[in-house]
Structure 1
Amino acid sequence: MATAPLDLSVETHVVSPSTRSTVVRAEHCEALAARHIAHVAVVDAAAPYAVVRTHLSGAFFQVCLAGEGKTLLDGAWYPHTPGMASFSPAHVLHAFHCAPRKRWRVAWVRFMPSSPRSVHGAMAPSMMAFDGEVLAHAILGLAAETAGADDPGNCAVWVDVIERYTTLLLEPLQRQPRLVALWNLVEADLARAWSLAEMARLANTSEEHLRRLCQQSLGRSPGRQLATMRMARAAHLLATTTLKIEAVAQAVGYVNPFAFSNTFKRLTGFRPSDYRSRPASAKVQSELH
């Protein structure tokens, strides 16, 4: 973890002249649009290279292929090195940057707001091990096809590979069926005063074993997962409704609005009122990157 080098309250998109990007967008590829994928890319970045999205409308998956960068997850900065992938759900503060004096080669998949990946609670912010070379080759293959013959069938095959690899990685909860049932119950009633003992009982396991299962599958404790799910729902409500902040807090299980505000700030970088009052221009700009 490192001190944030960026102003996280401002939409940022800095690209150095030596950065090289290969991008395919849904407006140029019907197969991507059909899978609710906004765009895919392979980027060979060099500092200065930095992105801050204060309103991530669609979920974002990114894997490091070479070099080193930093990615913001759950309000903290993490090294993003080869063989590691990150997932940022919709409606969170999202940021990443290239490490100083180093190149950073990444591949990413940006989902549309309409994608099931972008639905609040679909998945928490995560960092996980993943070899992204095949995914990168599929993205580059799709780019070559769209720039050449642009055969719809061939494009669909490349997009199938991209979707297959992201699906295999982005459904870690399915590796633990007990956790699927548990988090579905929690997601359906986030206003409830959930305790570790109650969650362990619903998962038919001990509290300590539940901690181990969550750490293995999600990289976080059950309490941290609960807080992350609550803040994801809160961000969704703040972005899509006019509910008062106190009502949003209660809807996700916080009786004390100050405790809610502090947790929201810690995990998203914003106070709830600041998150809701972001200028429309910033929201539009975030859609472009």
Structure 2
Amino acid sequence: MNDRAPQPGKPQDIQILGEKTRYVVVRAEAADTRGWLQPGSVCDLLSQHHISHAGIMLAEPPFKITRVDLSGTFLLSCFEGEGEVLADGGWKRIKAGQTCLQPPFVLNSLRCVPGKHWHFAWVRYRESREAAPIVSALSPLTGAQDPIPLRAAVEGLHAESSGDRSLAALHHWCELIHHHVLRFAQPHQPDSRLWRLWQRVEADLSRPWTLGQLAAITCVSEEHLRRICRKEIGRSPMQHLTFLRLQRARLLLCATDDKVETIAHAVGFESAFSFSNTFKKWIGWRPSEYRVSQRP
């Protein structure tokens, strides 16, 4: 495996797999010539769901992967051991039985915990900035989910795409993989109180929302709102408010020529300075850098 070490300067992709790390991967396009994908198989049916690749990683330290501008939604489901994912500006521990969902076009980073292995299945999409992503206002960041179905589906797709290549079987495995992601990212029966809350908040992101106001809309105590948010979406209410603000800011940075200060106020930040610092921490770039990186 050819590892890539980080270079000084601007944020760059990092790929440190390590000698003991092993993986299987299926990619959608034979023309995708990235070196680490070459040992895998190819199934162009993945493209029907805009999936770039899916696989199973048996990661061992010093495993670390960073993608500065992930071009699609990323789901990771751990079935053994534990590791860490950089999300919402901090490292979050993901253990067996837990799943993590990352939105597109943000900094994405994974790493092993020193001295511990980390075994997980993953699915990575390739999405257009003009289309609605899989991740929505009610999509969880982390949560409990049985990882075995996804692992089995990826193993089945890899075996079929490396062997007989029956179109019916390939279609079956691809559908199961995509369904597993949608079941986590777009729950069919989300807590209706949270649905009403975040619908109200998204319509008025410039408002200086407080935890008390959010709890009042939901008709629960502040502590109870914290508990149901942690359970349903893997964030505190105020963290999710920040997530929604930054998602809107990303769209405004790409779709308008508004000044950074104007966008900061439009999504509820008191100053361009606090907006820029939060954007950098959560997304990986300063707002002005992000705007330049997204323009053709």
Same topology, TM > 0.5: yes
State the alpha-carbon separation in 2 of the partners of residues 90 and 47 from structure 1. Answer: 26
Q: TM-score, normalised by structure 2?
A: 0.81
1:41 is displaced (CA, Å) by 0.8
Match of 2:114 in 1: 100
Evaluate the alpha carbon distance shift between residue 120 and residue 113 of structure 1 in structure 2; reply closer, same or farther with a 3 A threshold.
farther
**What residue identity is the alignment partner of 2:225?**
L
SS in 1 for 2:189: helix
State the alpha-carbon separation in 1 of the partners of residues 283 and 166 from structure 2. Answer: 42
Question: Does 2:292 match 1:273?
Answer: no
Q: 1:92·1:235 contact (CA, 8 Å) conserved in 2? A: no
**What residue identity is the alignment partner of 1:19?**
T
Q: 2:136·2:185 contact (CA, 8 Å) conserved in 1? A: no
1:86 is displaced (CA, Å) by 1.0
Match of 1:138 in 2: 153
Evaluate the alpha carbon distance shift between residue 122 and residue 24 of structure 1 in structure 2; reply closer, same or farther with a 3 A threshold.
farther
Match of 2:22 in 1: 20
Q: 1:91·1:232 contact (CA, 8 Å) conserved in 2? A: no
State the alpha-carbon separation in 2 of the partners of residues 279 and 31 from structure 1. Answer: 28
Q: Deviations over 1:232-289 (max 9, x none)?
A: 2223433555432112212312242122123223323433234344599xx9xxxxxx
Match of 2:33 in 1: none
1:188 is displaced (CA, Å) by 3.2
Structure 1 residues 89-98 or 193-202, which shifts more?
A: 193-202
Answer 1 or 2: which has greater helix percent.
Answer: 1
Match of 1:91 in 2: 105
1:104 is displaced (CA, Å) by 2.2
Alignment coverage as a number of residue pairs: 275
State the alpha-carbon separation in 2 of the partners of residues 221 and 273 from structure 1. Answer: 28
**Can you give the 5+ residue segments of structure 2 that lack an aligned partner in the other structure?**
1-5, 30-41
Q: TM-score, normalised by structure 1?
A: 0.82
Evaluate the alpha carbon distance shift between residue 62 and residue 30 of structure 1 in structure 2; reply closer, same or farther with a 3 A threshold.
same
Q: 2:202·2:244 contact (CA, 8 Å) conserved in 1? A: yes
Evaluate the alpha carbon distance shift between residue 106 and residue 157 of structure 1 in structure 2; reply closer, same or farther with a 3 A threshold.
same
Give the alignment partner of residue 227 of structure 1, picking from 207, 226, 242.
242
Evaluate the alpha carbon distance shift between residue 44 and residue 204 of structure 1 in structure 2; reply closer, same or farther with a 3 A threshold.
same
Q: 2:137·2:198 contact (CA, 8 Å) conserved in 1? A: no
RMSD: 2.8
Structure 1 residues 33-42 or 17-26, which shifts more?
A: 17-26
Evaluate the alpha carbon distance shift between residue 228 and residue 148 of structure 1 in structure 2; reply closer, same or farther with a 3 A threshold.
same
Q: 2:254·2:294 contact (CA, 8 Å) conserved in 1? A: no
**What residue identity is the alignment partner of 1:76?**
G
Question: Does 2:126 match 1:112?
Answer: yes
Evaluate the alpha carbon distance shift between residue 31 and residue 204 of structure 1 in structure 2; reply closer, same or farther with a 3 A threshold.
farther
Match of 1:252 in 2: 267
Give the alignment partner of residue 191 of structure 1, picking from 206, 216, 226.
206
Q: Which has the higher contact order (CA 8 A, sep 6+)?
A: 1
Identical counterparts, % of pairs: 38
Match of 1:3 in 2: none
Structure 1 residues 244-253 or 184-193, which shifts more?
A: 184-193
Q: 2:99·2:145 contact (CA, 8 Å) conserved in 1? A: yes
State the alpha-carbon separation in 1 of the partners of residues 207 and 294 from structure 2. Answer: 33
Q: 1:173·1:217 contact (CA, 8 Å) conserved in 2? A: no
